[in-house]
Structure 1
């Protein structure tokens, strides 16, 4: 049986066939709410990347609605929107939220693309032409994700390319005028700076080449990337991707990038440490437009580098927090390094401080203890936990299992973590055969570490305070800092900062 949290963690990996909300469909033919739009020469804007390109700013305000324009269209994706019957691949009026692959009609969120596109329409004062946005971004995706993935011959890129070609073929005068890219979070810990820069540059080179093959007269297409929010660059792994984004202009001709700071140098607001807020996205759209005009005119200059404090040190705890381990069902299968695990593999649990995760370039959950397994956005804690400091003296917590029927209810002794590394155990239910023991360990924290409880601030931005008693240190929804808690918003995939607390408990 898959625990309820595990079901939540599984959802992002459903294939297009399985997913009820995401389908990457090709466009043939393209239709239009206004048939004359099919014959009107158009300039095409490609908006690709992950959730910050989709836009997670909330709520949509009157200033966003004001940026709609009658000459601004988008290539839709869904058959019925707000009660209006529209076929997939229809040219429809552009408005937030745009029809990216993970679009939902009731989402009250703005992005930066509409601000850019509207500026293009107004300032270019195009005569006899319209502008079409091709929304192709999807939250939680990157070069390291599956099945929705960026890269040459990968699903999201192929869908973008097919739809772009279909738009170009509508009219001999249609042309792509910009590629807007904002992505990187999902590749943190999976790619280094050079790997990220190489994968993006290869993809953009191929995209430009395919555009030219379809429309030989298409002018050179500016490419603009955007930095992740500032909290993403405050770890070594996050900074590696941020530097990759900042280096793209060096290897991609006719390109530039925009920073995560306003003109006065302050960082754009992020409500959750991952996404830009509504006003930040509006500002970002203006920054993309400014970069575009400068690239086209040959005046763009790379922004000066800034100093970022990297948060790497583990914190400093005192006290005697209580940590528990789950008592698994009697027929639980325990598997080792590189073995398949998790909800798609009969609920197999990783033993001995291995995490059950989707590491790079795999199509299933596997046990492991590398950074590619253990970081918060990969580890499915319902089936294994890496929460351990290998360099510290650790406490052993044996978990006993057997395939025999349980003959009595389990009882649990709560282990403790102290600087003296005392051992604790979780009692197993009585069984009819001799159980096998798997050992899990907990880190011991340096003297002086502060342990905090529910709703308290924690983690790297709060002097390294560690959550006690099976609470996770996370950015729950709509907060601007790390807090301890045990809700799904704390413990779900991509939220829990495992160095400062763990939800791994039933």
Structure 2
């Protein structure tokens, strides 16, 4: 199994890496401009295992994709948003395995996303992505991280404008199944990014692909659709997202990921108030994704649940003097996995 592999020890402040495979064609490879500006500082919590330079290292902008990426990728903007709501010891490992101008095709001597039909191993994009993912996970484990395979980000379709909705759907669904089988993760979340509205207008055949993308969650479990925005393309280009469009897509990818994973997610709660006997402490849960969410509370003193302490507030009794108080917030929503987050502790003083 690739998910949840734990090394002997952690070597850095970031001890856990959540792995996301970024696949498809040029938009997920990275065409968002402007790129590499002061808006793109190195993020010590985001890593990559490159397609050309096969080393585990901090993510670059552009990412090291199979082609020559020319701008920021929505996978990067997704990762930036993802780590903001994770504990400080959690980072992201991106497996950048996209290649521009690729498609589901049977053409000899051409890279293809078709499963098992490539005319040579170097053209078998699904198999290459799986190998890169396995190598990336192994490299991160060797570097001392706990590694969790979390999901796949897909953006493709412009190269298959000529296909019917049913034909494209059959190829995409087969690809999803292949990745899950090869990575030993049958419920691995798969997020489909929406095509640029301007591109769909410019190439009407893309409406069929767009329909397939939007219908993926109704065909395949643990998938979701991430919409793109109108007006988010590079100047003079109807198909490739600008930086603005990429940042928008990164945000919708993130929301869609939680939906595909069927996880209701919230930040680590914060306890406000003075931790002393007789005072009232308040749990501040923060903004949970996929709202509305039903929240419940449980207070603890020194790791033991306090009987009956299930409100958002807690009046500190004399018996808690010297103990450390924490609160666990649990979010529940129909159709999603119930998830709990626990606050940092605060010690009760005189």
Taking structure 1 as the reference length, the TM-score comes to 0.44
Question: Deviations 1:425-451 (Å, cap 9, x if unpaired)?
Answer: xxxxxxxxxxxxxxxxxxxxxxxxxxx
Q: Superposition pairs for residues 34-433 of structure 1, below 5 Å?
A: 41-60=16-35, 62=37, 64-66=39-41, 68-78=42-52, 88-103=53-68, 107=70, 109-127=71-89, 129-144=90-105, 146-153=109-116, 154=118, 155-170=124-139, 171=141, 173-189=146-162, 191-212=163-184, 220-234=187-201, 235-261=203-229, 266-271=230-235, 272-297=237-262
Which whole-Å CA distance do the structure 2 matches of 1:55 and 1:147 have between them? 21
Unaligned runs of 5+ in 1: 1-34, 79-87, 213-217, 302-506
CA drift at 1:63 = 5.9
CA drift at 1:296 = 3.2
CA drift at 1:166 = 2.1
CA drift at 1:297 = 4.2
SS of the counterpart of 1:174?
strand
CA drift at 1:284 = 1.1
Question: Deviations 1:336-369 (Å, cap 9, x if unpaired)?
Answer: xxxxxxxxxxxxxxxxxxxxxxxxxxxxxxxxxx
Conservation of the 8 A alpha-carbon contact between 1:260 and 1:267 = no
The runs of 4+ residues in structure 1 deviating greater than 3 Å are: 61-64, 168-173, 294-301
Which whole-Å CA distance do the structure 2 matches of 1:248 and 1:237 have between them? 18
CA drift at 1:73 = 0.8
Q: How many residues align?
A: 242
Change (3 A) 1:77 1:292: closer
- The two structures, once aligned, show a CA RMSD in angstroms of 2.7
Conservation of the 8 A alpha-carbon contact between 1:197 and 1:244 = yes
Unaligned runs of 5+ in 2: 1-9, 119-123, 265-288, 291-350
SS of the counterpart of 1:134?
strand
Which whole-Å CA distance do the structure 1 matches of 2:26 and 2:251 have between them? 18
Change (3 A) 1:204 1:112: same
Change (3 A) 1:123 1:41: closer
Instruction: Give the aligned partner of residue 3 of structure 2.
Output: none
Higher relative contact order (CA 8 A, sep 6+): 2
Q: Bigger CA drift: 249-258 or 179-188?
A: 249-258
CA drift at 1:152 = 1.1
SS of the counterpart of 1:89?
coil
Question: Deviations 1:393-420 (Å, cap 9, x if unpaired)?
Answer: xxxxxxxxxxxxxxxxxxxxxxxxxxxx
Conservation of the 8 A alpha-carbon contact between 1:232 and 1:239 = no
Which whole-Å CA distance do the structure 1 matches of 2:186 and 2:172 have between them? 21
SS of the counterpart of 1:178?
strand
Which whole-Å CA distance do the structure 2 matches of 1:112 and 1:186 have between them? 19
Change (3 A) 1:227 1:63: farther
Which whole-Å CA distance do the structure 1 matches of 2:115 and 2:233 have between them? 33
CA drift at 1:298 = 5.0
Larger of the two Rg values belongs to structure: 1
CA drift at 1:204 = 0.9
CA drift at 1:292 = 1.6
Conservation of the 8 A alpha-carbon contact between 2:232 and 2:241 = yes
Change (3 A) 1:226 1:77: closer
Conservation of the 8 A alpha-carbon contact between 2:36 and 2:61 = no
Taking structure 2 as the reference length, the TM-score comes to 0.63
Which whole-Å CA distance do the structure 1 matches of 2:198 and 2:212 have between them? 16
Conservation of the 8 A alpha-carbon contact between 1:72 and 1:117 = yes
Change (3 A) 1:77 1:182: closer
CA drift at 1:147 = 1.7
Q: Bigger CA drift: 267-276 or 242-251?
A: 267-276
